[in-house]
Structure 1
Amino acid sequence: MTPEKTRIGWIGTGVMGNSMCGHLIKAGYQATIYNRTSEKTRTLQELGATVVSSPKEVAQQSEVVFTIVGFPRDVRSVILGEDGVLAGSHEGMVVVDMTTSEPSLAVEIAKAAGAIGVQSIDAPVSGGDTGAKNAALSIMIGGDASAVESIRPLFELMGKTIVRQGGPGAGQHTKMVNQTLIASGMIAVCEGLLYAHKVGLDIPTVLESVASGAAGSWSLSNLAPRMINGDFDPGFFVEHFLKDMKIALDEASRMNLALPGLALGYQLYNAVAGQGHHRDGTQALILALSQLNGIDWQSQYS
């Protein structure tokens, strides 16, 4: 994979995809892109990307096509749909879905792609908008080992931790582990901040003490400061996190696996969405928990 030999396609230029595709273009790759809302392609177009009107057209002009969209239904549409990637594919092409989606859908796509000589890889990511901007994402990969290795140079332009977990669907299952860990961890972060607030501690000073110890976590270091600054802009949307937790809970149910912490996180984030914060970042959980405790967080931290 080199800029001189490899044309890339990119579908989904939102909070994450815009930065991720931008790294590839800045490395010299020619990119053909599509987004349902065309206005969101403007930044990449200014970097030299060619904008087309369908995922099918993206595939027709690319050797490797990346997708990062919102929901499994969107993945199904842009890859398997009548105007989707596979409809415009050619033998030897590689399709990489970086959306957090259903493991079973990743397997279905791999089978459909394989039947026409196309390699399919599921490669969801973790790291949020900051990780995407800094090319520091963790990329969790499922798919054929040789196909994964062939596009590793592209992954390395977007992430720092790049690990193949197994065959089709394994990347998505690993992302479910990631989201299960985050769900309970976010509850703990918010409860810790509320405790500090209630007792009258200076929260930034508290974070300085606890973030470098055993309680430290990515969420504590990256999202807690946003909470105390009243910054609820999305690095990752609440509605997308709800989608992820529902997938994980459905998979757990299928395996007869009880995950009460994840179930609690799902219910609390439903409350966040119910308060109108479904398009805010996941750090908006502090608003739901503060309201539960009669605390007007937004009036005190902004």
Structure 2
Amino acid sequence: MAAENDSSGNTVLGNGIGWIGTGRMGSALVTRLLGAGQQVSVYNRTRVKAEELAPLGAKVVDSAADLADCRIVFITVDAPASLVAVATALLGGGSGPRTVVDCSTVDAPAARTLRELAAKTDTAVLAAPVSGNAGAVAGGTASFCVSGPLDAYQQVLPLLEILGRSVSYVGEGDAARVVKLCHNMLLGVVAQTLAEVSTLAQRYGVTRTALMQFLNGSVLGSDFSRYKTPALLNLDFSPTFTTELLRKDFDLGLAAARVVEAPMPVAGAAYQRIQEAVTSGYRDADFAALLELQARAAGIELRPEGNAAS
């Protein structure tokens, strides 16, 4: 990939970066590239979301097909059907970009369709799902796992390093999709476990503040537990990642496990609770709302504690 330096000495990878999908996550990622001096053309089905990036320097195009002559095109969409639709538009005209970087979390058939379309235009495909929400992306703390041709990965790596603090190459083909599903299933299991132990402690008169202060200072404390502590204490379930999206990833992960007959007893149990949350009024709430569902099952009425235990 040809590269050049701008007047400030920043490395700019040509004029050929395209981006499909500028929702909450896509917009945050594009903003990081633009902030690093990259030149990005963007497309979104709802055009107004793409136009919000124009004042930052993005070029808005009318269709995914308009990005076919880019060197690299990133894709961030939220559903398998959306991925197939934009991939068909991008690659169905007989030519395509040098590399497509799919940052979506979709099922195996959709990922396979993308690769089949890309093969017809000699386009390399990298799967590069993101770990972290839009806030983490904006703060530079998101992580990427990437799979696909190693040479394509090495070419795209400078851009990925702008987008996140950690980039891990996990192998060929679609391996990154499986790694991301493993990650998100663990996320759901941990969230459900935190809900359970918080409810148990509260049954014995221990505040969530005290419990989380202890846990966060112990060997079990993590970036995740500390990040979710304010939501658990204040009962603020404004969505960073909804229970519905978490259910989608569990659906995909458990389906992948069935293909290779890998038992998932703990994840399977967590899935039932996540499903219950979706159908009990928490579909669009942050998945930390599992706490409220668990407390309700235990006959506890939660109240915000208004503190942060870090």
- State the TM-score, normalizing by the size of structure 2: 0.88
CA spacing shift, 1:137–1:4, aligned 2, 3 Å: closer
2:80 pairs with 1:68: no
Q: Is the 8 Å Cα contact of residues 272 and 287 (structure 1) preserved in structure 2? A: no
Q: Percentage identity across aligned positions?
A: 27
Q: Is the 8 Å Cα contact of residues 68 and 97 (structure 2) preserved in structure 1? A: no
CA spacing shift, 1:300–1:86, aligned 2, 3 Å: same
Q: Of 122, 126, 132, which residue of structure 2 is paired with 1:121?
A: 126
2:47 matched residue in structure 1 = 38
Partner amino acid for 1:21? V
Q: Is the 8 Å Cα contact of residues 231 and 237 (structure 2) preserved in structure 1? A: yes
Q: Of 224, 229, 235, which residue of structure 2 is paired with 1:230?
A: 235
Q: Of 242, 248, 252, which residue of structure 1 is paired with 2:253?
A: 248
2:68 pairs with 1:59: yes
Partner amino acid for 1:282? F
Partner amino acid for 2:142? L
Deviation at 1:4, TM superposition (A): 5.7
Question: Partners in 1 of 2:97 and 2:51 — Cα distance?
Answer: 30
Q: Is the 8 Å Cα contact of residues 96 and 118 (structure 2) preserved in structure 1? A: no
Question: Partners in 2 of 1:69 and 1:48 — Cα distance?
Answer: 22
Question: Partners in 1 of 2:144 and 2:13 — Cα distance?
Answer: 25
Q: Is the 8 Å Cα contact of residues 72 and 97 (structure 2) preserved in structure 1? A: no
Larger displacement relative to structure 2 (194-203 or 131-140): 194-203
Q: Of 272, 281, 284, which residue of structure 2 is paired with 1:267?
A: 272
1:47 matched residue in structure 2 = 56
Larger displacement relative to structure 2 (29-38 or 150-159): 29-38
Deviation at 1:195, TM superposition (A): 2.4
What does the per-residue CA deviation read over 1:8-61, in whole Å, with 9 as the maximum and x for residues that have no partner?
Answer: 11122222211111000111111111222333234312212122232212334x
Question: Partners in 1 of 2:34 and 2:144 — Cα distance?
Answer: 19
2:34 matched residue in structure 1 = 25
Partner amino acid for 1:10? W
Question: Partners in 1 of 2:305 and 2:137 — Cα distance?
Answer: 27
Q: Is the 8 Å Cα contact of residues 33 and 49 (structure 1) preserved in structure 2? A: yes
Question: Partners in 2 of 1:275 and 1:266 — Cα distance?
Answer: 14
1:173 matched residue in structure 2 = 178
Q: SS at the partner of 2:92?
A: helix
Question: Partners in 1 of 2:305 and 2:162 — Cα distance?
Answer: 36
Partner amino acid for 1:175? K
Deviation at 1:300, TM superposition (A): 4.0
Q: Is the 8 Å Cα contact of residues 6 and 64 (structure 1) preserved in structure 2? A: no
Partner amino acid for 1:70? D
Partner amino acid for 1:176? L
2:297 pairs with 1:292: yes
CA spacing shift, 1:88–1:296, aligned 2, 3 Å: farther
Larger displacement relative to structure 2 (92-101 or 151-160): 92-101
Deviation at 1:120, TM superposition (A): 0.9
Q: Is the 8 Å Cα contact of residues 21 and 75 (structure 2) preserved in structure 1? A: yes
Q: SS at the partner of 1:156?
A: helix
1:194 matched residue in structure 2 = 199
What does the per-residue CA deviation read over 1:148-168, in whole Å, with 9 as the maximum and x for residues that have no partner?
Answer: 000101000111221111112
1:157 matched residue in structure 2 = 162
Q: How many residues align?
A: 297
Partner amino acid for 2:18? G
Q: Is the 8 Å Cα contact of residues 121 and 144 (structure 1) preserved in structure 2? A: yes
Partner amino acid for 1:159? G
CA spacing shift, 1:237–1:91, aligned 2, 3 Å: same
Gaps in structure 2 of 5+ consecutive residues? 4-10
Question: Partners in 2 of 1:27 and 1:167 — Cα distance?
Answer: 29
Question: Partners in 1 of 2:96 and 2:155 — Cα distance?
Answer: 15
CA spacing shift, 1:89–1:281, aligned 2, 3 Å: farther
Question: Partners in 2 of 1:291 and 1:205 — Cα distance?
Answer: 21
What does the per-residue CA deviation read over 1:64-104, in whole Å, with 9 as the maximum and x for residues that have no partner?
Answer: 11111111221111113xxx221357455211110111245
Q: Of 114, 118, 121, which residue of structure 2 is paired with 1:109?
A: 114
Deviation at 1:282, TM superposition (A): 1.6
- State the TM-score, normalizing by the size of structure 1: 0.91
Question: Partners in 1 of 2:155 and 2:94 — Cα distance?
Answer: 18
